[in-house]
Structure 1
Amino acid sequence: MADSPREGKVARPPDFTQLIDLASEFVGGKILFATDDFFAPAENLLKRDNPSFKEHEYTEFGKWMDGWQTRRKRIPGHDWCVVQLGIQGVIRGFDVDTSYFTGDHAPRVSIQAANFEEDKQPEIPQREVRTGAAATPEEFEAISELKSDDWSCLVPMTELTPGNPASSHNYFPVTSQQRWSHIRLNIFPDGGIARLRVYGTGQKDWTTGDPKEPLDLVTVAYGGACVGFSNAHFGHPNNLIGVGTAKSMADGWETARRLDRPPILENDENGILLVPGCEWAVFRLAHPGVITQIEIDTKYFKGNSPESCKVDGCILTTQEEEDMVRQKWDLPGHKWKPLLPVTKLKPDEMHVLDSLTPELQDVITHAKFTITPDGGVSRLRLKGFPSSICLLRPREKPMMRFSVKAGFRANL
């Protein structure tokens, strides 16, 4: 594989690109329909990896390209495809990436969106990945049930830049606060796009579901997010709260080895490693709530899992969070209350642990996950009950009363 020459200065990406890609195949995004997949299938748009270029590779239909590329249109109309988001939520921005499409990129694009509840969504036959083909009349008839022509327009028709290294990313911020489940990507009239990134935050309808069943209050699928961390050398902490189980070490949070490790390591009387430092990540919960169970998965981390960990929680307003971000989370110790005491971790293993929260009778909005001294973890699940549900649950023994910081209730 050979990359094409890279020239020019790449602009700094906007802040919204730090959010999760709601459309990625990695979180369950999928193509429901495409008018044409002649040179390369629309499924390539949703790949997690960055696009690549194989200089001398061809298929029976033409040049191999890592993206969605339609034939040169010779009939009326334009090409388009429909994406079902893997995570339904609020969209903050798009990246329409034309990498390596230089003489054959789509000249213009527009993006529409719609929101369908899962039980009200028309059944669309599953697509097969293919090249050298256009949509059949039956596929057009099936997708017409979604009435995508009438969806809300988030990005009006806009010119795209060709896929040169310095200009291949076409960023489009979105101000809508609505929840979306589907995207329609229109290209005018035809051509190629390497990737479509739909950046945003997950959003759950908290009025649905069984109030007796605990939920993962920190998952990105519901709107949880990492809002601070000490180190992310090999993997971002947002991976910890990702959808499903980890696929590999690359799908977890892994820090660099701390340079302040003692030359010779020793344990204390409780068997805990005596080391001076630690690494941490802070998460905003998708909804304030009470954590009853904590799952920590070190899957794939066999020679590089942490020695131990702990979890703490606190309640913060939006303004307090912003202040803490500016202060790099130098939060006074009394703000944090323990959810999980220092606990030994094993390599490549799922740890299911009870939280201390019910005993402390506290609702929390933020959680801090601390590992000692360093290493990698694949998943963190903080299971419990949203505060609005907790407050309505029948009293149990021991009686659990939940307190909310003064002035915060209006933000719930």
Structure 2
Amino acid sequence: MADSPREGKVARPPDFTQLIDLASEFVGGKILFATDDFFAPAENLLKRDSPSFKEHEYTEFGKWMDGWQTRRKRIPGHDWCVVQLGIQGVIRGFDVDTSYFTGDHAPRVSIQAANFEEDKQPEIPQREVRTGAAATPEEFEAISELKSDDWSCLVPMTELTPGNPASSHNYFPVTSQQTWSHIRLNIFPDGGIARLRVYGTGQKDWTAGDPKEPLDLVTVAYGGACVGFSNAHFGHPNNLIGVGTATSMADGWETARRLDRPPILENDENGILLVPGCEWAVFRLAHPGVITQIEIDTKYFKGNSPESCKVDGCILTTQEEEDMVRQKWDLPGHKWKPLLPVTKLKPDEMHVLDSLTPELQDVITHAKFTITPDGGVSRLRLKGFPSSICLLRPREKPMMRFSVKAGFRANL
């Protein structure tokens, strides 16, 4: 059921909202079809930013709204749209946000889903965004190839709350373990929705591809996730493992300036800044593996990049991870093994560094990225080989197999 807190009391978001939004335009999500876009186009549903409201702004079709808003329906049927997820994955929950739609929100919603292999998806012509228009007969014919009427139902028809500040988020948990690539959002019969968030984890077929080609084992596209951090004042660490390159500082992880920094800064004999504190983020890899190369990109962080960083790794079972989350990652030092020693960072630059693990032959499930003393980084890539195909390049050893501890695979 939708979350419906009393007006004036903002409910705590469910835990699944800490996961990646698989439908966001930021990760490549796109609208394939919408029955109607009269007041505002469906593309607004996938915007990364929170909805906004401009009290006195109007278009030639009516009030400007930051969301998807259809005309008042005067023909049989109901409105719906189809979303192609930017990242295929397991969906853990939805947020149907009706912010600022108070007298014209969609009163009811249902959500369906399907999974198409990339090479078996019917060809859908690129959609033209036309505010003030409805779908053409040709567009209806093209989208019918997807047979979306028959897709699996993840959220049955449910009433939505109007977009008042305390009740605009309608949360729907999902228990399905299947992988999905497409979403159909149905509104009954018409109206407006500000944002659709599809929270989940990316999935990858690890048997596909070249086993000799290193993969980014921490990217959200394959299922990597941040499971703990010290500070995220200006940007969440999940941004570090996002898809593609950053487009601005807003796409990275940036911490507040540490208040314990000395009044006057000094270096040690190796040129490393002498400061008492640091900031950190812990990531669960998409698949256990050996890390062979580390990429750290400080693009856009010109006056606020960290002075230095290091990367450590360890192997944890699902239960151990849960225990560490409760303990805020106060993990005994012996568990962590160095992947990258303390390394100076430059502003606005890509750093490509070799990992220590090929020499140590260590398979890891989790990585800890530590920056000193604070600052911002746009991307972190941990490239290597899944544990079942660990080709150790420096020693040119044959395929090596590794069995992780019991209990971990339940988390994959």
Q: Is the 8 A contact 1:301 1:376 kept in 2?
A: yes
Is this contact kept in 1: 2:390–2:399, CA < 8 A? no
Report the Cα distance in structure 1 between the residues aligned to 2:18 and 2:140, rounded to whole angstroms: 35
Listed one character per residue, the Cα deviations across residues 136-185 of structure 1 (whole Å, up to 9, x for unaligned) are: 11101100110000000000001111111111111111000100000000
Preserved contact between residue 291 and residue 357 of structure 2 (Cα < 8 Å): yes
Please identify, of 258-267 and 326-335, the stretch whose mean Cα deviation from structure 2 is larger.
Answer: 258-267
TM-score, normalised on structure 1?
Answer: 0.95
CA-based RMSD of the aligned residues comes to 3.4
1:259 CA drift (Å): 1.5
Decide whether aligned partners of structure 1 residues 14 and 150 sit closer, same or farther in structure 2, where only a CA change above 3 A counts.
same
1:354 to 1:154, Cα distance in 2 relative to 1, 3 A: same
User: Which range moves more in the overlay, 261-270 or 337-346?
Assistant: 261-270
Which has the larger displacement, 144-153 or 233-242? 233-242
Q: Percent identity?
A: 99
- Between the aligned partners of 1:319 and 1:402, the Cα distance in structure 2 is 20
The answer to which of 365-374 and 204-213 deviates more is: 204-213
Aligned to 2:123: 123
After superposition, the Cα gap between the structure-2 partners of 1:81 and 1:404, relative to the gap in structure 1 and judged at 3 Å, is closer
Q: Displacement, 1:111? A: 0.2
C-alpha contact 1:96 1:193 (8 A) present in aligned 2: yes
User: Residues 408 and 38 of structure 1: is their aligned pair in 2 closer, same or farther, counting only changes over 3 Å?
Assistant: closer
User: What SS does the corresponding residue of 1:256 show, helix, strand or coil?
Assistant: coil
Assess if the C-alpha contact under 8 Å between 1:95 and 1:169 holds in 2. yes
**TM-score calculated relative to the size of structure 2:** 0.95
Q: Which residue of structure 1 lines up, in the alignment, with residue 305 of structure 2?
A: 305
Alpha-carbon contact 1:362-1:404 (below 8 Å) kept: no
Question: Which segment drifts farther, 150-159 or 388-397?
Answer: 388-397
Whole-angstrom distance in 2 between the partners of 1:302 and 1:394 = 34
Matches within 5 A, 1:82-231: 82-231=82-231
- 3-state SS of 2:178 partner: coil
- Structure 2: how far apart are the matches of 1:394 and 1:278? 32
Q: Give the Cα–Cα distance (whole angstroms) in 2 for the partners of residues 363 and 246 of structure 1.
A: 28
Structure 1 pair 204/367, CA: closer, same or farther in 2 (3 Å)?
Answer: same
Q: Please list the CA deviations of residues 75-110 of structure 1 after superposition, one character each: whole Å capped at 9, or x if unmatched.
A: 111110000000110101111111111111111110
Deviation at 1:409, TM superposition (A): 7.5
Deviation (angstroms), 1:61:
0.9
In the aligned structure 2, how far is the partner of 1:189 from the partner of 1:122? 27
Alpha-carbon spacing, 1:404–1:182, altered in 2? closer, same or farther (3 Å): closer
| CA shift digits 1:29-61 (9 cap, x unpaired) | 000000111111000110111111111111111
The alignment partner of 1:263 has SS state of coil
Query: Deviation string for 1:264-302 (max 9, x for gaps)?
Result: 211111111111111111000000001010000001111
Distance 1:78 1:4, change over 3 A: closer
Closer/same/farther in 2, CA of residues 174 and 302 from structure 1, 3 Å limit: same
Cα–Cα, structure 1 residues 157 and 335, in superposed 2: closer, same or farther, change >3 Å? same
SS state of the match for residue 227, structure 2? Answer: strand
Rounded Cα–Cα distance in structure 2 between residues aligned with 1:312 and 1:361: 14
Do 2:53 and 2:66's aligned partners in 1 also have CA atoms closer than 8 Å?
A: yes
Contact 2:42/2:69 (8 A) holds in 1: yes
**1:233, CA displacement in angstroms?**
1.3
CA distance in 1, matches of 2:3, 2:332: 49
1:10 is displaced (CA, Å) by: 1.5
| 1:379 CA drift (Å) | 0.4
Specify the SS of the correspondent of 2:26. Answer: helix
The CA distance in 1 between the partners of 2:335 and 2:4, in whole Å, is 52
1:17–1:199: 8 Å Cα contact kept in structure 2?
yes
**8 A Cα contact 1:358 1:400, kept in partner:** no
1:312/1:369 contact within 8 Å kept: yes
1:243 is matched with 243
Task: Give me the whole-angstrom Cα distance separating, in 1, the residues matched to 2:195 and 2:42.
Answer: 9
Counterpart CA distance in 1 for 2:2 and 2:344 is 46
Cα pair distance change 1:132/1:11, threshold 3 Å: same
The offset of 1:309, in angstroms, is 0.5
Offset at residue 401 of structure 1 (A): 7.7
DSSP-derived class of the 2:182 partner? strand
**Equivalent residue pairs, number:** 412
CA contact (8 A) 2:91 2:199 kept: yes
